Structure 1
Amino acid sequence: MEIKLASVDSVIVYFDNKISLDVSFNVKQYLEEVKKLEGIIDIVPSYTSILITYDIFIYSYDQIVSVLEKIKVNKISSSDNKIVEIPVYYGEEVGLDLKRISEEKNLSIKEIIDIHSSGSYRVYAIGFAPGFAYMGEVDKRININRLENPRKSIPKNSLAIANEQTAIYPQSSPGGWNIIGKTTIEMFDKSLSSLCPVNVGDEVKFYSISKEEFLKQGGVL
């Protein structure tokens, strides 16, 4: 673990330079300990590090480093993390890139859906936008590059893949990921203390639902 100055009131704690499940677990465990500290203004976890903003009227740089260095993380297993199941409608009217992926990968749309929904995905980081959870890893058979020309607007709750990652757009926004479906789950929920139904280290499983069930749950085509 290494702690470096980020700005006048923030530091970055680095755990490793490689993405792995062990590092993801360490980030999550360390994050929970930092939340208990007084004078912490903001915490932003990523794949292998955590950006921590602190109150400079409580800590000097040397003091915050000393406090953070005393936090110890133990190796934990996947059983210590929650499993979150998310319903997805993989219809072509919401899966804007399903047909193209099918052609590029020489797979039927059903095969793409089966492959994606049969996997489990670890939440490695939450960023880009509130509630945007980066999850991996996507099966190599449907691993596909980002769009060369990003869309100006991707509908809220769209499920997407890019290379080895998958994610849900929590709000309508520009983006270059490949859209394969849509969920009814709110990924940015102000009623939750964490603002998001998933946290770093959690395991996410997607399951396919019909168009009728999607609409019944409040989904929007």
Structure 2
Amino acid sequence: MNPARLPCLERAGLEAWMVRLFDRIDENNLPWLAALAGECETEFGDTLVDLVPSYTTLLVVFDPFRMTPCDARQKLMTILARLEPADAGARGKQHSLPTWYDPRTGPDLQRVAELSGLSVNAVIDAHSVREYRVFALGFAPGFAFMGLLDSALTCPRLDTPRQQVPAGSVAIAGQQTAAYPAATPGGWNLIGRTPTRLFDRDRDGFSLLQVGDRVRFVPVDQATFEARGGDTTAVSQPGPERAR
């Protein structure tokens, strides 16, 4: 592995190691993380229980009844010693998510505009013009953390989260963007909504979006949004639930 990316192995319980490859979010991390995940699948075989990728790390969960933590660590060190990045274009599907950007579905559009010094239309343009990579899945089933945002749109989470955010809500926080796959509490800035179903138990893999995928948010009008099954339910006001 490239010496500039020396890994750090951290114990994560009796049956897992956290492999920390990087210390900052960057799209260039993905080929390395993808390669590490692929090598772990091959080398650990049926002793592997789960792999949980994130922006800079990979959690490797193994069967503690079939492999000791020491053996798992040694196997990871062997993998890391020869690791090379995967072909950046070889993994990940492309997705287009139709999105209705409107104060009714995106009540924080004006807040983002004020924080960024842009007009609402400029915020929509800046968000929809980019292609985002899925860096991690978490928080809720099918919730994909995507980035990186245009630096002008970077803004903090709400001080007080909403008790319920409608499914499909498109949101931003920090350098990240996401679309809520189900109605949950949430503290991200809501700027629109997509009618696309992001999590389906009848779908192979359940989640539409997977780590490494490429995503574009495509602006549509209300008529198109509703014709595709979009929900125009009003967004609740922020409440006491904890933000995510």
Instruction: Check whether TM > 0.5.
Output: yes
Residues 75, 43 of structure 1: CA spacing in aligned structure 2 closer, same or farther, 3 A cutoff?
A: closer
* Structure 1 unpaired stretches of 5+: none
Instruction: Measure how far apart 1:42 and its partner are.
Output: 2.1
Pick one of 46, 49, 53 that aligns with 2:57. Answer: 49
Pick one of 31, 34, 42 that aligns with 2:37. Answer: 31
- How far apart in 2 are the matches of 1:125 and 1:80? 18
Say if 2:222 is the partner of 1:216. Answer: no
Match of 2:67 in 1: 59
Task: Give the RMSD, CA atoms, in angstroms.
Answer: 1.9
Show the 5 A alignment for 1:89-128.
89-128=100-139
Match of 1:195 in 2: 206
Show the 5 A alignment for 1:132-143.
132-143=143-154
Q: Verify the 8 A CA contact 2:32 2:85 in the aligned structure 1.
A: yes
- How far apart in 2 are the matches of 1:49 and 1:191? 29
| TM-score, normalization by structure 1 | 0.91
Instruction: Measure how far apart 1:34 and its partner are.
Output: 2.7
Residues 35, 214 of structure 1: CA spacing in aligned structure 2 closer, same or farther, 3 A cutoff?
A: farther
| TM-score, normalization by structure 2 | 0.83
Match of 2:18 in 1: 12
- What is the number of residues matched between the two proteins? 221
| Structure in which a larger fraction of residues adopt strand | 1
- SS of residue in 1 equivalent to 2:61: strand
Say if 2:165 is the partner of 1:165. Answer: no
- How far apart in 1 are the matches of 2:23 and 2:114? 35
Match of 1:85 in 2: 96
Pick one of 58, 72, 83 that aligns with 1:73. Answer: 83
Instruction: Measure how far apart 1:77 and its partner are.
Output: 4.8
- How far apart in 2 are the matches of 1:135 and 1:7? 28
- How far apart in 1 are the matches of 2:197 and 2:40? 26
- How far apart in 1 are the matches of 2:72 and 2:60? 10
Instruction: Measure how far apart 1:125 and its partner are.
Output: 1.4
Residues 73, 213 of structure 1: CA spacing in aligned structure 2 closer, same or farther, 3 A cutoff?
A: farther
Instruction: Measure how far apart 1:103 and its partner are.
Output: 3.5
Deviations 1:158-179 (A, max 9, x none): 1000121111111211111100
In structure 1, what residue type is equivalent to 2:84?
A: N
* Structure 2 unpaired stretches of 5+: 1-6, 233-244
